[in-house]
C-alpha cells in the first residue's frame, strides 16, 4: 500500500534549505580550510603593512621637518655646499642625507627642492636637474618650482626652447601660485631667444592680462618690443 507523501510547509522548506546551506558551507570550509587561513593571513599582513607604512611616513615627515629646519639657516646664508653636506660634529645632517633617509615624505620632498637649488647655485647643474626631476611631492607650489628649476638648468645650458617649455609648465600648475607672472616672463624671454615669437608674445601678453599688478608686468613692454612686427 502506497503511503501518501507528507507535504512540507513553507516554514519546513525554508528550514531545510538553511540546514542544507549550513552543511554545504561547513563542507566548503573543511575542504578549503588551509586556503582560507592563507587568504586571511595575507589580507591581515597587507593591512598591517599599510598601517606600518603610513605610520613610518608620518614619522619620517616629522623628523625631516626638524632636520630641514637645521639646514635652512646655512642655505639662507648662501652656504650652499654646507647645506648640501651638513656640518660634521653637529646635528645638521645636510640636504643629501635628509633626502636619502626621508625622501618619501612631503618634508623630505621639500628638502629635495632645496637640495636641487643648492646644487644649481653651486654650478652642479646635472645634479640639480636630477633632483628637480625626481620631485614627487603633492605640493603644487613645489611642483611648479621643480618645473622652473629644470627650466633654469636648460636656460643655463643654452637650450632656450626647453627652458621656455618648462617655465610655461610651471606657470600652469596652479592659478594661485604667486610666482606665475615671473614664470611667464621667463618663458617669454626664452621663447624670444629660441625665436618662437608667437609663444613669446602669448606668454608676455598673458602677464598684462592676468597679472597687471605684478612686478613682472613692468618688464613686459620691453620684451614685447623685441618681437618682430
> Which pLDDT score is estimated for 51?
46
pTM: 0.76
What crossing angle do the helices spanning 180-193 and 197-210 adopt, rounded to 10°? Answer: 160
Decide if 92 contacts 71 (C-beta within 8 A): yes
pLDDT > 70: percent of the chain: 75
CATH superfamily of 152-229: Tetratricopeptide repeat domain (1.25.40.10)
pLDDT tens column, 51-83? 444 555 677 888 999 999 999 999 999 999 999
Distance between CA 102 and CA 105 in Å, rounded? Answer: 6
pLDDT tops 50 at residue 215: yes
> Which pLDDT score is estimated for 18?
54
> Which pLDDT score is estimated for 62?
87
What crossing angle do the helices spanning 140-156 and 180-193 adopt, rounded to 10°? Answer: 20
Domain boundaries, the chain: 61-138, 152-229
What is the DSSP annotation of 37-89?
Answer: HHHHHHHHHHHHHHHHHHHHHHHHHHHHHHHHHHHHHHHHTT-HHHHHH--TT
Amino acid at each position: 500500500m502506497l503511503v501518501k507523501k507528507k507535504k512540507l510547509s513553507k516554514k519546513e522548506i525554508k528550514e531545510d534549505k538553511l540546514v542544507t546551506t549550513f552543511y554545504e558551507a561547513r563542507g566548503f570550509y573543511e575542504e578549503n580550510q588551509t586556503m582560507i587561513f592563507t587568504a586571511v593571513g595575507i589580507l591581515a599582513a597587507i593591512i598591517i603593512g599599510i598601517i606600518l607604512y603610513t605610520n613610518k611616513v608620518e614619522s619620517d615627515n616629522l623628523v625631516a621637518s626638524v632636520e630641514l629646519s637645521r639646514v635652512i639657516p646655512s642655505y639662507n646664508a648662501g652656504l650652499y655646499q654646507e647645506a648640501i653636506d651638513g656640518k660634521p660634529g653637529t646635528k645638521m645632517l645636510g640636504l643629501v642625507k635628509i633626502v636619502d633617509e626621508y625622501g618619501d615624505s612631503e618634508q623630505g620632498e621639500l628638502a629635495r627642492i632645496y637640495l636641487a637649488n643648492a646644487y644649481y647655485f653651486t654650478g652642479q647643474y646635472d645634479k640639480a636637474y636630477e633632483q628637480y626631476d625626481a620631485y614627487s611631492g603633492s605640493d603644487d607650489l613645489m611642483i611648479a618650482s621643480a618645473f622652473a628649476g629644470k627650466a633654469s638648468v636648460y636656460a643655463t645650458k643654452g637650450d632656450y626652447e626647453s627652458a621656455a617649455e618648462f617655465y610655461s609648465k610651471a606657470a600652469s600648475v596652479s592659478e594661485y601660485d604667486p610666482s606665475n607672472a615671473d614664470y611667464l616672463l621667463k618663458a617669454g624671454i626664452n621663447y624670444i631667444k629660441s625665436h618662437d615669437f608667437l609663444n613669446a608674445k602669448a606668454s608676455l601678453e598673458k602677464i598684462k592680462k592676468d597679472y597687471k599688478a605684478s612686478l613682472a608686468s613692468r618688464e613686459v613692454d620691453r620684451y614685447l618690443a623685441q618681437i618682430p612686427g
